[in-house]
A and B are shown apart, each in its own frame.
Chain A
Amino acid sequence: MSTFVLLTITGLGLGAMYFLIASGLSLIYGLMGILNFAHGAFLTVGAYATWWSSDKLDARIESIAPRFLISVLIGLVAGMLVAALVELVLIRPLYLRHIEQVLVTVGLSLALVALTQAIWGPTEKPFPAPTWIYDTTTVLDARIPNNTFLEVAAAVVVLAGLLAFLRFTRYGLIVRAGVENRAMVTALGIDVKKAFTLVFAIGGVAAATAGVLSGVHFGSVDPHQGTALLIFAFIVVVIGGLGSILGSAAAAVIVGLVQQWVNYYSSGVGDLSVVLLLALVLLVRPSGLAGKWSVAH
């Protein structure tokens, strides 16, 4: 029983990380029709910026907790700025040129890995975090690492924030409408390109959050972390329904749980089971769990 509880809660933690990456991917695809292969780079930027700033602040701030918080904040801002910059400089000139967008985002993803390796080396860097994060809490006889709760809590906060943004703000309204019919949004006199940058920035923050949490989860950061997690995030986006935040959330939970359970009970074929799940969803419900164009539903 305790093993099942452990697998379930850590599966939720894994799903939380997938959701943080997938939410931005899903919004970007839903609104702009862009498959952003550089999204994993935002995760790497967030993780490395947090690690780097913590390293620099080490001599000035002795206590780990405030240093960690400030570093995380810097990591999130870095993820947001890089994402907004990518949209403005690389994506915007290629608006509606989908093949070129794919090439540019794939290229950027590869270039950032190479750049990170060139600057900080290919080896893992130990990720700074308060020690309580690596302690465990007992739930139904299962000893759960505290970072799992942090991952789930962060994903819930981001999910609630995204839903509130989509439901209660004008830009949220523009994004929801733009996912349905971008041309008609412009025909109402709205400069939809501002929403593009905003969605990229939001996606960047969420991915950077995943970067920080993956650093905490694995205890280190490395240049390939973003790319590895991006593959599963893409699967989550497709299973959830392109453009749907709640669909992505549900799919992330399912994928995280299936991966953990199958990995344990069927000797490490969790990744394969997720691919099979994707194939099943595509066969039975090609538009994903949430169906087509249902961004906040």
Chain B
Amino acid sequence: MSSVTTERRTLVAVEGLNVYLGQSHVLQGVSFAVPEGGVTALLGRNGVGKTTTLRALMGLVPRRGRVLLGGEDITRLPTHSIVRLGIGYVPEDRDVFAGLTVEENLRLAERNGGQRYELVYELFPELRARGRQRAGTLSGGQQQMVAIARALLNDNRLLLIDEPTKGLAPLIVSAVAEVLDRASELATILLVEQNLGVVQRLARDAIVLDQGQVVHTGPAKEFLGDPARLRRFLGVSGDGAHA
């Protein structure tokens, strides 16, 4: 099993993760460790298995291998039990409940009392004002706020966040990055992100996937500063890191 760092405690350990979707062998023995605290970026070209990795951690797709959270084996647990161990999930397509209001979307995410509505409304004041609006009528950026707010509402120790800036205007991207920066003070984040500017701003560590396998783990700065690796595994030039 690869390890991103040796000094910090490991929060998530993934060992030999295999996922088949139909005939496709999407994850081929993926192993990595996510250290506790800060942001770890999960990088790679489109279709290499980043989203599937997050879904496999959540138990949303059938998988083989082992997933440990804080040393506890969660591989055989159903999704709702995994989440109750303290995981917040922001899916790639936001997946807000379009027919429910913003308030109802948040209320649905409540777990075990002690919700952090003050924090959520401090980060996203717009959500308070739009509480009674149906989530399906919100803009893409506002829907992303709802999706992130649902994950931040509970005292989670791990946030799995999948492409939070996808399809958003540059100004909104910056606001989302700021929120994630703040969220990283509260929980460990495993972040799938294509915008390398955001990765550079937030991530301390990076795990890189290629064709369903881990091809690099280490400090994010080291990877982003290596034009040859960027070109090989992400298909971008060194300048992409400053996008």
Q: Is the CB of B99 within 8 A of A293?
A: yes
Q: Chain B 207-221, CB within 8 Å of chain A: the 1/0 string? A: 000000000000000
Closest-CB distance, B206 to chain A (whole angstroms)? 25
Would you call B104 an interface residue if the criterion is a C-beta within 8 Å of the partner chain's C-beta atoms?
A: yes
Would you call A177 an interface residue if the criterion is a C-beta within 8 Å of the partner chain's C-beta atoms?
A: yes
Would you call A103 an interface residue if the criterion is a C-beta within 8 Å of the partner chain's C-beta atoms?
A: no
Residues of B within 8 A of A185 (CB): 108
Most central of A183, A189, A190, A294 by chain B CB within 10 Å: A189
Q: Is the CB of B100 within 8 A of A188?
A: no
Residues of B within 8 A of A192 (CB): 80
Number of B residues near A (Cβ < 8 Å) is: 21
Closest-CB distance, B99 to chain A (whole angstroms)? 6
Closest-CB distance, B25 to chain A (whole angstroms)? 21
Would you call A184 an interface residue if the criterion is a C-beta within 8 Å of the partner chain's C-beta atoms?
A: yes
Q: Chain A 149-193, CB within 8 Å of chain B: the 1/0 string? A: 000000000000000000000100110110011011111111110
Most central of A185, A188, A191, A295 by chain B CB within 10 Å: A188
Q: Chain B 95-107, CB within 8 Å of chain A: the 1/0 string? A: 1011110001001
Question: How many residue pairs at the A-B interface have CB separations less than 8 Å?
Answer: 60
Closest-CB distance, B219 to chain A (whole angstroms)? 30
Residues of A within 8 A of B78 (CB): 186, 191
Q: Is the CB of B99 within 8 A of A189?
A: no
Residues of B within 8 A of A183 (CB): 60, 79
Given contacts A181-B95, A184-B91, A184-B95, contact A189 B80 (CB under 8 A): yes
Q: How far is the CA of A191 from the CA of B58 in the complex (A)?
A: 14
Residues of B within 8 A of A176 (CB): 97, 99-100, 104
Number of A residues near B (Cβ < 8 Å) is: 21
Q: How far is the CA of A292 from the CA of B192 in the complex (A)?
A: 31
Q: How far is the CA of A235 from the CA of B173 in the complex (A)?
A: 47
Would you call B231 an interface residue if the criterion is a C-beta within 8 Å of the partner chain's C-beta atoms?
A: no
Q: Is the CB of B99 within 8 A of A187?
A: no
Q: Is the CB of A186 within 8 A of B104?
A: no
For the complex of A and B, list the 7 residue pairs with the smallest distance between their C-beta atoms, beginning with the closest: A189-B83, A186-B79, A184-B95, A177-B97, A191-B80, A189-B84, A187-B89
Binding site for B on A (CB under 8 A): 170, 173-174, 176-177, 180-181, 183-192, 293-295, 297
Binding site for A on B (CB under 8 A): 58, 60, 78-80, 83-84, 89, 91, 95, 97-100, 104, 107-109, 111, 150, 154
